[in-house]
């Protein structure tokens, strides 16, 4: 297995700093990671994938989504080439923040079709209740029917299910019994085992108090009880709480046949590596932005080179913590900006106009951290594009 090449860079550009000055930033030596998986993986690893907006569509971005389908599917091909799975139509794809259910379903249908054309590349797709307006949810049965409708649509498309957290259930679910009623009913009907997604309110404030309580210890008791009572219907659980110890505690309480998929974009490297009592698989938004490095690091781990795994993946963690910093729900802007810098799309335009959710300083620091982690696939292109964005925001090259 070839080690990443470390050429010396002579590139520089002017970047804004926190004290309102402009500095000349010189790029570090870059790494070049394989474009396709080398070796094998001993972790199941999904990238929650973003969507590429159509910048030339005549639409109102705050109201309707316009998708560049060719580029969106091409990005999924990039993920599959690297041996990673695609977690489709999740929050990274701006589900609930610009991407509505009808567009999400079309995305799922196109992605599943593309996966099957490759010989069943790995893809699981989000099924939730987001077509049911929260204010229209009057009963637990309303929530169940909404889940059933989306699950049926995904299964009709030939897809596997990620059971997303429900804003409607968060609003009207009063206790553990309400959640058990919903999940037991829904899980009893799915064709194949699903991944359950526990998304914390730092990612979506409307999910505060999920599992019927704001007490996370009690919430975990409820979640573990429901999952372990439905083992035959649950492939795994993705936990997105940005709390390393809670994930570890939950992992150790799950039935041995249920996988833990880390959704911790702050501590993923050590959680995936694991300890003598177990490890986490991965379902991460940051794997969209760092897919080549993630694939290479995971292949090293599979080959028994844990030091090499940390050497590659460790430097990506500061970037991820920056992209996912509070308000965490705006992390999608950083994910798409990385795709723009790395040439996966020709513009920095997002569904819902979400490119505006992060400051110029935030994007400048993202560029520094991506460079320092060796994540700029083409430093010349990335530098040129960074200068273009800075110019539109009033920073002279």
Return the pLDDT at 29.
Answer: 80
DSSP letters, 218-287, are HHHHHHHHHHHTTGGGEEEEEEESS-HHHHHHHHHHS-TTSEEEE--TTTHHHHHH-BTTB--EEEESHH
- How far apart are alpha carbons 373 and 314 in whole angstroms? 9
Q: Can you tell me the mean pLDDT for 214-222?
A: 97
Percent of the chain with pLDDT over 90: 96
Q: Which domains does the chain have, with CATH numbers?
A: 41-378 (3.20.20.70)
Please tell me the predicted confidence (pLDDT) of residue 120. 85
Task: Answer yes or no: is pLDDT of 115 > 60.
Answer: yes
CA-based end-to-end distance of the chain: 40
Tokens standing for residue 209: 């108090």
6-20, 22-36, 253-267, 300-314: which has the minimum mean pLDDT?
A: 6-20
For the packed helices 306-313 and 291-302, what is the interaxial angle rounded to 10 degrees? 170
- Provide DSSP, 111-176: HHHHHHHTTS--EEEEE-STTS-GGG--SHHHHHHHHHHHHHHHHHTTPEEEE---HHHHHH--SH
3-state secondary structure of 46: strand
Find out whether 369 and 318 touch, Cβ atoms under 8 Å: yes
Phi, psi of 296 (to 5 degrees): -65, -45
For residues 289-304, average pLDDT: 98
């Amino acid at each position: 297995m070839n080690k990443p090449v470390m050429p010396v860079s002579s590139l520089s550009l002017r970047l804004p700093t926190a004290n309102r000055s402009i500095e000349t930033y010189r790029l570090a030596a870059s790494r070049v990671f394989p474009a396709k998986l080398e070796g094998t993986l001993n972790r199941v690893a999904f990238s929650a994938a973003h969507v590429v907006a159509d910048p030339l569509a005549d639409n109102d971005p705050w109201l309707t989504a316009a998708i560049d389908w060719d580029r969106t599917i091409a990005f999924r091909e990039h993920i599959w080439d690297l041996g990673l799975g695609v977690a489709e139509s999740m929050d990274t794809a701006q589900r609930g923040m610009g991407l509505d259910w009808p567009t999400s379903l079309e995305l799922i249908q196109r992605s599943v079709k593309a996966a099957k054309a490759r010989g069943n590349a790995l893809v699981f797709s989000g099924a939730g209740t987001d077509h049911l307006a929260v204010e229209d949810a009057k009963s637990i049965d309303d929530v169940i029917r909404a889940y059933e409708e989306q699950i049926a649509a995904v299964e009709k498309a030939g897809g596997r299910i990620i059971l997303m957290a429900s804003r409607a259930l968060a609003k009207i679910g009063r206790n553990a019994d309400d959640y058990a009623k919903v999940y037991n009913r829904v899980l009893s009907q799915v064709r194949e085992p699903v991944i359950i997604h526990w998304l914390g309110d730092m990612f979506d404030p409307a999910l505060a108090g999920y599992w019927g309580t704001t007490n996370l210890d009690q919430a975990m008791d409820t979640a573990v009880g429901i999952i372990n009572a439905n083992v035959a219907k649950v492939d795994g659980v993705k936990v997105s709480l940005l709390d390393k110890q809670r994930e570890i505690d939950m992992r150790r309480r799950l039935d041995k046949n249920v996988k833990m998929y880390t959704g911790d974009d702050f501590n993923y490297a050590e959680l995936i590596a694991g300890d003598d009592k177990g490890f986490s698989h991965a379902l991460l938004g940051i794997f969209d932005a760092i897919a080549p490095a993630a694939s290479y690091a995971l292949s090293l781990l599979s080959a028994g080179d844990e030091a090499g795994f940390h050497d590659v993946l460790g430097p990506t963690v500061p970037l991820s913590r920056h992209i996912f910093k509070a308000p965490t729900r705006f992390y999608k802007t950083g994910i798409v900006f990385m795709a723009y810098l790395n040439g996966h799309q020709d513009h920095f335009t997002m569904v819902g106009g979400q490119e505006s959710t992060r400051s110029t300083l935030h994007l400048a620091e993202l560029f520094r951290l991506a460079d320092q982690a060796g994540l700029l696939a083409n430093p010349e292109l990335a530098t040129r594009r960074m200068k273009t964005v800075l110019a539109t925001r009033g920073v002279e090259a």
